[in-house]
Amino acid sequence: METRDFELLKKLSEAFAPTGEEEALFPMLIEEIKPYVTKLYMDRMGNLIAEKGNHPDLLFCAHMDEVGFMITEICEDGSLHFDQLGGVDPAHLASKRVVIGSQKLPGVICARPVHFSRKEKGYTPNSYADLTIDIGCQSREEAEKLVGLGDNAVFDTEFSYLDACESTVKGKALDDRLGCFYLCRMIRDPEIQNVVFAFTVQEESGLRGAHALAESEKFSFGVAVDSTTASDLPQTEGIFRVCAQGKGGVLSYLDGASIYDHDLIDRLFQKLESEQIPIQTKTLCAGGNDASSLQKAVCGAKAFNISTPCRYIHGSVATARVCDLEAMQNALSSIYQFLNAEKSK
């Protein structure tokens, strides 16, 4: 990966932007794309919308927000009760590092040690009620000087290459900072004109930013660029692998929230395969993405989704293959050409 791109992705991945509090990404994105756009604004929902050209009819969106936590109670002993923002499985959270608030106050998620697990009752996974965040405070008064009720937290994870060959990256919030990253590069690309790019909010809270966007913007085609679960792990067989890393972007025919235009997806596959751009579909229909909200646009848009195959999304650290990032970027350029041709039909 070029250093400039690596640095951009690192900055995006490490930013503090849990769902409902996405402002931290604004200065980074604006700095990156401002020279290339004709219109750049935040709507009343908080979505960042960038236009290239006049009256664009194509929309590409990626969500800015990531999963995280909200502090819901500051306890007598200085520990913090918290709950999830978006979906994070509490079973594996004990001992994970977090940072709280845009000031990035460090904390550790604590639970009772494994030695004290209730053997007689069998194993019960931790729920949020069993977990607290320790920020090193001994009393409520002390803790209240550092955090407030309703402050948010995200995983404290460094973005870097995973392997010495630099073929895989690891970091938090690859869902969906990868999408933001592709959109930034599309905006830089002089070949791509007359497009609206939307960086949406509150995807993890129920596809809400894209919902508000779809009620106000007019477009004929909408593409939600997101990340999806690659479950290509040992001892996982058949459809349960969902999709695999190293095989390019994932175009789905349906998921937990949408059914897409079968014919359109078929023709996209044909085009991408004819151009030797790696592309795959997925074999389990779970979850949803912003395409579901785009499909319900007041103007009646055709919407679909293309995602990067990531492992371990919604956890403290996810991975993506560099070759998939390139395949995704190429697929998006190709999809842009395809939709332009489709429009003039």
Partner 1 sequence: MDTLFALQKMQSSPCVSGREFSLSAFLCAEYASGFDEAGTDSAGNCFFYKKGKKENLPTVLLEAHMDEVGVCVKELWEGGFVSIEPCGGLDTAILPGTEFFIFGKKTCRAIATAKPPHLLSAEEQKEKLKIENIYLDTGFKTLEEMKEVLSVGDVAHYAAEPKSLNGGFLTARGLDNKAGVLAVLNAAQKISCEKCNLLVLLSAGEETTSIGVKSLCRKRKPDFAIVVDVGFAYGPGLERSKCIEMKKGPSVSITDTLSRKMSNWVLDTAKEFSLPCQVICEPGGTGTSATAIQVIDGGIPSCVISIPLKNMHTPSEIVYVGDIEKTSELLIALCEKANFEYGEVDFLGNTGL
CA distance 17 to 173: 9
Nearer to partner 1 by C-beta: 85 or 322?
85
Nearer to partner 1 by C-beta: 38 or 337?
38
- The sign of the dihedral angle between the CA atoms of 147, 153, 155, 158 is negative
Minimal distance, residue 84 CB to partner 1, in Å: 6
314: tokens are: 């919604």
CA distance 140 to 79: 8
Give residue 313's identity as a one-letter amino acid code. I
Distance spanning both ends of the chain, measured CA to CA: 37
Minimal distance, residue 100 CB to partner 1, in Å: 13
Helices in 158-250 by DSSP H: which ranges? 174-188, 208-216
Q: Are 90 and 131 in contact (CB under 8 A)?
A: yes
Would you tell me how many other CB atoms lie within 10 Å of the CB of residue 255?
Answer: 21
Q: What is the DSSP letter of 38?
A: S
Minimal distance, residue 272 CB to partner 1, in Å: 33
CA distance 226 to 247: 16
Minimal distance, residue 227 CB to partner 1, in Å: 19
Nearer to partner 1 by C-beta: 40 or 284?
40
Would you tell me how many other CB atoms lie within 10 Å of the CB of residue 265?
Answer: 18
Give residue 293's identity as a one-letter amino acid code. S
Please identify which residue in the block is written with the tokens 């900055």: 11
Catalytic residue among 14, 203, 204, 217: 203
Minimal distance, residue 112 CB to partner 1, in Å: 18
What is the phi/psi pair of residue 212, to 5°?
-60, -40
Q: Are 279 and 331 in contact (CB under 8 A)?
A: yes
Q: Are 182 and 26 in contact (CB under 8 A)?
A: no
Q: What is the DSSP letter of 118?
A: -
- Known catalytic residue: 14? no
Q: Are 160 and 7 in contact (CB under 8 A)?
A: no
Nearer to partner 1 by C-beta: 14 or 204?
204
Minimal distance, residue 276 CB to partner 1, in Å: 38
Nearer to partner 1 by C-beta: 6 or 26?
26
**Which is it for strands 132-134 and 105-110: parallel, antiparallel or unpaired?**
antiparallel
Nearer to partner 1 by C-beta: 45 or 94?
45
Collapse the DSSP code of 121 into the 3-class scheme (helix H, G, I; strand E, B; otherwise coil) and give the result: helix
Minimal distance, residue 39 CB to partner 1, in Å: 7
- Return residues touching partner 1 (CB under 8 A): 18-21, 30, 34, 37-47, 65, 69-73, 81, 83-86, 129, 148-150, 152, 202, 204-206, 208-209, 211-213, 215-217
Nearer to partner 1 by C-beta: 56 or 86?
86
- By annotation, the residues acting in catalysis are 203
